Structure 1
Amino acid sequence: MRDRRKEVLALCVCLTLGACSSVGSYHGPVQCAPYARQVSGVNLRGRAASWWWEARGHYQRSHRPQPGSVLVFRASSRIPDGHVSVVRRLRTRRRIEVDHANWVGGRIEHSVPVEDISPRGDWSLVRVWWAPAGSMGRRAYPTYGFILPMR
């Protein structure tokens, strides 16, 4: 267990510092932030949860999803560094599909359903598809909102 933690920490440092040549060429678990940065073009660094604040003054932020935008999850006990996903498709006013990495076992997933369950419909609380169960996850995850890439 301790060796696995060291391995994950080394990967995080490698990807955060840009020491790995690219997400696609690394043969191990892929972290969400480097993947989202590569796919979206939103050039932010650090913990996924910090992206919302790092984007201020550099990227437009919104509480409405748009294809290509980055959904930023807040840090929580389940995801201590937060999480980021790239919006691929709008399905309904309260359901989107995202591409992201490391939600399940360090791998990349495409067209993953995410639904807004916030009382005000502002995407501040979501549920995410859980592939191992083949259904929407039961846990609710708080989010900041969406970072819009520069066009």
Structure 2
Amino acid sequence: MRLYAFRRWTPALLAIAVAAPAAASKSASLLDYVGQCVPFARAASGIQIYGNAWTWWEQAEGKYERTHVPKEGAVIVFAKTARLPFGHVAVVSRVVEKRVVMLTHANWSRQNGERGHAEQDVTLFDVSRNNDWSDVKVWYKDVDGLGGGIYPVYGFIYGRAHAAAELTSRNPDYVGALIDAYVPVSGQPIAR
């Protein structure tokens, strides 16, 4: 294409390029998201914190309530570790019982061989010795159950805005979450 022709079409091409994502985002589901956990958690929870996931806990101080008690719509902040160099944030979609909740988050399990996809209502199990949500296990699609890792957690951040409507499904699998958490593996309970 000659430079003259390109310049002539540039305004039209820019208009199409700008309009297409805007139109797609209006009709797209939160669960169609593919990307990092931080923008997903921000969109799903309404909590307006930016930066690496592990920094959310400190950034929330004085702006949002921080606690060690899960509730629906709260963001859980995973600590920075060798396995999670940027930490991780996820949104509580359902509280199942004292030590079991469901999360909706992005960029955890692989789907179709790639990371970044959103997952709805996955099991999170408190395996901390003091039942204070300081250590958790997370459901991982590749093993269809709780993964083998234990992850340290700072706590939960409560937002002021309403969480996204798609945070949880109409019929979450409470029984499946309890089975993930409490059914023994090789004769040993999953918790420490």
Residue 142 of structure 2 aligns to a residue whose secondary structure is: coil
The one of 118, 130, 137 equivalent to 2:147 is: 137
Between the two proteins, what is the percent identity of the paired residues?
Answer: 42
Separation in 2, partners of 1:40, 1:67: 9
Q: Which residue of 1 aligns with 2:101?
A: 96
The one of 47, 52, 57 equivalent to 2:57 is: 52
Give the alignment of 1:72-91 within 5 angstroms.
Answer: 72-91=77-96
Give the alignment of 1:1-151 within 5 angstroms.
Answer: 29-104=34-109, 105-151=115-161
Pairwise CA distance, 1:122:
0.6
The count of residues paired between Structure 1 and Structure 2 equals: 130
Which sections of structure 2, spanning at least 5 residues, go unmatched? 1-20, 110-114, 162-192
Pairwise CA distance, 1:135:
1.1
Provide closer, same or farther for how the CA distance between residues 73 and 95 of structure 1 changes in structure 2, counting only shifts above 3 A: same
Pairwise CA distance, 1:28:
8.1
For the pair shown, the structure with the greater C-alpha radius of gyration is 2
Q: Normalised by the size of structure 2, how large is the TM-score?
A: 0.64
Provide closer, same or farther for how the CA distance between residues 149 and 120 of structure 1 changes in structure 2, counting only shifts above 3 A: same
Higher helix share: 2
Q: Deviations over 1:62-101 (max 9, x none)?
A: 0000000000000001110000000010111000001000
Letter in 1 for 2:141: A
Separation in 2, partners of 1:130, 1:67: 21
- RMSD (Å) for aligned C-alpha atoms: 1.8
Runs of 4+ more than 6 Å apart:
none
Higher strand share: 1
Letter in 1 for 2:127: I
Residue 40 of structure 2 aligns to a residue whose secondary structure is: helix
Q: Normalised by the size of structure 1, how large is the TM-score?
A: 0.81
Pairwise CA distance, 1:30:
1.1
Separation in 1, partners of 2:56, 2:43: 14
Which sections of structure 1, spanning at least 5 residues, go unmatched? 1-19
